[in-house]
Structure formats: C-alpha cells, structure tokens
Chains A and B, each alone.
Chain A
C-alpha cells in the first residue's frame, strides 16, 4: 500500500527537542521530494520545510529556520524533522507529504499525505 506514516509526536516543554519520523512505503521514496506541514488552531495550515530527493536542496519557513532540521534516509525510506528550541507556537499536528510535479511541469502539488503526529509544547 502506498502510504506515509508519521511518528514521534509528544508533549514537550518549551525549549525542549523532538524528532519526528515519516515512514514511506509502497513507492520509490528516493525519487520524490518531500515536505513537512503543520496544522494548529492558531496558525492554520503552515508549510514547514522541504527537502529534495537527494537532499541537495532544503528550505524552511521563517518561523522554524535555525531551530528545525529536515533530513531523510533513502535507504530506510524515511523522512525526519529534528525540532529544537521548541516554542508554544510550535504546537500542532505535523504531516509529511510527497511533493511532485505534474506532467510537463504543469503544476506542483502534494499528492500523498500521512495522518499526522501531534506535537504539544507546554509547560
């Protein structure tokens, strides 16, 4: 089955760290670009980070730059998000998503998502 499964979400104190994982199955993970997206009541749906198939290109939202690190292990079909210096506003459900171009580069979209993993940052 083609799917993405996130894990690693937890309750953490402000200033703490968490590492999220996303396990991919049913497709050739190493050929796809990937993203992390989060959803929270206060901030809505927010794109967090992007990584190219071979990890050569990486981008972050300004809200997480310098605190979060995206990485991947293509041999393990896995995507990661290391979250340091956590803030209350980082609370939310974190999704991994497969990022792809349409035929002929007619569009770019997230065609496969996981169910998400919840992160709560609170004292």
Chain B
C-alpha cells in the first residue's frame, strides 16, 4: 500500500493567518492527490482534487500544489469556519489511502 504522511499533525493558528499543510507519499501518486475537510457532525467536504484543482464552491483561499510524492495545501487567510481537520488522500492505487490528518485549531 502507498503510505501517506501529513505534517504537522496539529497546528495552532489565528484568523487571517496563512496555513500550510504538507502531505508526502511513500511512492509516486502522480497528481492523484485530494484534500478533504472534516468537521464533527458534518459530512466531510472535498476541497481540492488532482493535487491543485479547486472543487466547485470551495473558496479561493484554499489552494493545492505538488506532484509525485510531495503535496501542499495552503489556506491563504484562515477564516473562522476553517478550523477543522484536513486529510490528504491518494487515489493512484486501488487501495485509496489517507494521511493521518492535520487539526487546525486556535
């Protein structure tokens, strides 16, 4: 299986901050890398697919970059509704593995 490693596992930030989350794959996943936002009690939300494509309806302050084994999710100016846990996912392989998550908190 392809292992996905996120860093950091948690971070403390304030409204307006620029936030960067890194996701590394144990081997190349090309651009088959997605980012999701999880909030307790809510349906998870797709933010970015194919490494850098913004899902329809997602604010432009979210951006993804990278390819092969190293990827980044950036929130350019953190908003109150962005405090959540973020996961990367590879869909290059049949077994679609996730990173361990990054909790963004105040």
A-to-B contact residues, CB < 8 Å: 3-4, 35, 37, 39, 44-47, 50, 59, 61-62, 95, 97, 102, 106-116
Contact = CB atoms under 8 A, between A and B. Distances in A.
B16 to A, nearest CB: 28
B50 A46 contact: no
> How many of chain B's residues touch chain A, expressed as a range?
20 to 34
Contacts of A108: 32, 49, 91
Contacts of B98: 37, 44-47
Interface stretch (B18-26, B37-45, B69-77): B37-45
A34 B89 CA distance: 16
Contacts, number: 70
Interface in B19-75: 31-32, 34, 36, 38, 41-46, 49-51, 53, 55
6 contacts: A45-B99, A50-B94, A102-B50, A107-B51, A107-B91, A111-B46
Interface of B is mostly: loop
Nearest to A6: B43
Given A107-B49, A109-B49, A59 B42 contact: no
B50 A107 contact: yes
Nearest to B88: A45
Given A35-B96, A44-B100, A114 B43 contact: yes
A59 B93 CA distance: 12
A113 B43 contact: yes
